[in-house]
């Protein structure tokens, strides 16, 4: 959520021509789900709608719009349908509808509202009211609901009466509304330890949908550069970070101190709401921790949620980069499973 909105705000503030490209509907096999976005300028591309021929074709279409002299029609949102078959040199077999939305001065209002919502961590609904069929002058507004809207898709089309069109590729008619649920669905990750594996994980997380709090009391262990989605914390009160974490967070316990590892694992399992709790170490370490956790009164079900060793299923290579890759993949699977259950 955050990157494309803040990028659009910056581009609009300096009146730099750009097109927001959105997958608005999809059926069959498609590279990304509805709601995926990229922003195209004359010489840059931010985000992705899935790569390959579809993205290349969409990028060229966006740049063809940017190359045209500005007119009132540039206030319109354009929709185009792409079968993912021979015409694109693809064999996915799906079908997507792409929306092309050229940024203009009139977009600064809703973008400012969206940026405020992002800064406050609030999910919101972006409504685009369209006036004609395929080239539609738009009226956009941001709505801040008390709760995120449910449903399987973050994008829907509504008819003139406000009823949701159930067809995934609806026939566009007059007075239709495009509604997008914009929410920060990134995993909240607490990464305890800035050793070799911790550093390898942090490097991976730079390009993943996660908000990472990276904690180690040894300030000199952190690299000088790390991703914008990572916050470094040199606290000596690691347990407090566990206690104040949001519900459904993911945890990696990789510190230099086995006693600290245990204290953190006990605090995480006591919460009972972790999407993932991974502990670095051997099976012997796990057995010892299990005994201590039982004596501390931790429920067997919660003990069973502890993942230790991390990322080691079937892999013989124990290099930090390999362990980090396998463990982060393991965590992402657990997080996605948790989201489907909510």
248-283: pLDDT as tens digits: 999 999 999 999 999 999 999 999 999 999 999 999
Per-residue pLDDT tens for 101-155? 888 777 888 888 888 888 888 888 888 877 654 444 567 777 777 554 545 568 8
Residue 93: pLDDT band (50, 70, 90) is: low
- Residue 217: the pLDDT is 95
pLDDT of residue 146: 58
User: Which pairing describes strands 250-253 and 230-233: parallel, antiparallel, or unpaired?
Assistant: unpaired
130 neighbors 177 (Cβ within 8 angstroms): yes
Exposed/middle/buried for residue 159 (C-beta within 10 Å: 0-12, 13-18, 19+): middle
Mean pLDDT on 159-169: 78
Share of the chain above pLDDT 90, in %: 48
Per-residue model confidence (pLDDT) at position 71: 67
pLDDT, mean over the chain: 86
**Per-residue model confidence (pLDDT) at position 104:** 79
Provide CB contacts within 8 A for 119, sequence distance 6+.
Answer: none
pLDDT at 177 over 90: no
User: Would you say domain 187-341 falls under CATH 3.40.50.720?
Assistant: yes
Q: How confident is the model at residue 230 (pLDDT cuts 50, 70, 90)?
A: very high
pLDDT tens-digit map of 16-59: 899 999 998 888 878 888 889 999 999 999 988 887 888 999 99
77 or 23, which is more confident: 23
Return the pLDDT at 150.
Answer: 46
Rounded Cα gap, residues 283 and 290, in angstroms: 10
Q: What is the mean pLDDT of residues 234-243?
A: 96
User: Domain map of the chain by residue range?
Assistant: 2-182, 187-341
pLDDT band (50, 70, 90) for residue 300? very high
Q: What is the pLDDT of residue 74?
A: 59
What's residue 188's pLDDT? 96
Quick count: other Cβ atoms within 10 Å of Cβ 66?
A: 16
**Phi, psi dihedral angles at 275 (to 5 degrees):** -75, -25
The predicted structure's pLDDT at residue 323: 94
Assess contact for 41 and 102: CB atoms under 8 A.
no
- For the segment 231-249, the average pLDDT, to the nearest whole number, is 95
Rounded-to-5 percentages of helix, strand, coil across the chain: 35, 25, 40
What local confidence, expressed as pLDDT, does residue 273 receive? 94
* % of the chain with per-residue pLDDT over 70: 88
CA distance 285 to 279: 9
Tell me the two tokens of residue 239: 């347990």
Answer yes or no: is pLDDT of 88 > 80: no
**Interval 317-340 mean pLDDT:** 92
DSSP label of 244: T
Enter the tokens of residue 114: 């969206």
pLDDT of residue 32: 85
Q: How does residue 182 score in pLDDT terms, banded at 50, 70 and 90?
A: confident
The residue with greater pLDDT, 260 or 87, is 260
Residue with tokens 């078959």: 85
């Amino acid at each position: 959520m955050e990157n494309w909105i803040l990028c659009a705000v910056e581009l609009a503030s300096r009146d730099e021509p750009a097109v927001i490209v959105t997958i608005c509907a999809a059926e069959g096999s498609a590279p990304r789900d509805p709601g995926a976005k990229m922003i195209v300028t004359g010489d840059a591309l931010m985000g992705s709608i899935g790569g390959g021929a579809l993205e290349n074709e969409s990028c060229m279409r966006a740049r063809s719009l940017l190359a045209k002299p500005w007119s009132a029609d540039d206030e319109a949102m354009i929709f185009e349908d792409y079968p993912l078959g021979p015409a694109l040199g693809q064999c996915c077999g799906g079908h997507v509808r792409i929306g092309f939305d050229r940024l203009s001065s009139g977009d600064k209002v809703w973008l400012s509202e969206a940026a405020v919502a992002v800064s406050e961590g609030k999910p919101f609904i972006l409504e685009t009211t369209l006036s004609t069929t395929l080239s539609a002058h738009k009226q956009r507004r941001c709505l801040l609901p008390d709760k995120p809207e449910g449903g399987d898709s973050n994008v829907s089309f509504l008819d003139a009466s406000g009823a949701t069109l159930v067809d995934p590729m609806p026939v566009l008619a007059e007075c239709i509304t495009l509604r997008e649920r914009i929410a920060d669905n990134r995993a909240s990750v607490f990464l305890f330890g800035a050793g070799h594996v911790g550093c390898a994980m942090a490097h991976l997380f730079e390009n993943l949908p996660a908000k990472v709090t990276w904690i180690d009391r040894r300030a000199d262990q952190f690299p000088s550069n790390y991703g914008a989605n990572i916050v470094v914390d040199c606290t000596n009160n690691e347990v407090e970070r566990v206690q104040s974490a949001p519900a459904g967070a993911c945890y990696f316990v990789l510190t230099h101190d086995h006693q600290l590892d245990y204290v953190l694992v006990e605090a995480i399992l006591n919460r009972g709401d972790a999407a993932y709790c991974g502990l670095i170490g051997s099976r012997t370490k796990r057995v010892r921790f299990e005994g201590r956790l039982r004596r501390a009164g931790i429920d067997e079900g919660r003990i069973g949620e502890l993942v230790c060793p991390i990322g080691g299923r079937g892999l013989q290579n124990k290099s930090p980069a390999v362990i980090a890759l396998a463990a982060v993949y393991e965590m992402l699977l657990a997080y996605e499973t948790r989201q489907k259950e909510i």
